Amino acid sequence: MRIAAIQAKLFYNSTGTFSENALTGRVDLWNSPFDSSYSTLVLVELDGLPEYLAPEVRVELVARYIPFDRVKGGIRVRQVEWIRNGSEDGKAYAAFWLKRTGCNPVHLAARIVGQRRRVEETIQFGCGE
């Protein structure tokens, strides 16, 4: 089993909708808090899982960034999600919610607990005039 991909989707408070994957370069990440997006949903896609897992698989996400409402003083957010079942095609997803994102890059590192391999991505947020 392995991490196949990471996706990041901006949540728009004014509409209750999500953006496309912000890691593709097709989403405008400049001044996103001014577009009513203050948080990001990160999805870690797993591949090669059996349909029924015993024991469960734990997925860890570490995010490092400076929240949009700070000038300096980065934070490190570590979250762990449990995957109890795969699908017929061997896929499963772990979802992580990051708050106060938007003006500074967010560095993501995901791994399956117990494995050394990490998948890393950076959401290239930015703010200014």
Read off the pLDDT of residues 24-56 as tens digits, 9 standing for 90 and up: 999 999 998 888 888 999 999 999 988 777 788
What count of other Cβ atoms lies within 10 Å of the Cβ of residue 19?
20
Take residue 123 and report the two structure tokens written for it: 């959401």
pTM confidence score = 0.92
Residue 66 is predicted with a pLDDT of: 95
88's CB contacts (< 8 A; 6+ apart) are 51
Domains, the chain, in order of start with CATH, read 2-123 (2.60.40)
Task: Round to the nearest angstrom and report the end-to-end CA distance of the chain.
Answer: 44
pLDDT per position as a tens digit, 59-105: 999 999 999 888 788 999 999 999 988 888 889 999 999 999 999 99
pLDDT recorded at residue 108: 98
DSSP 8-class letter at 32: G
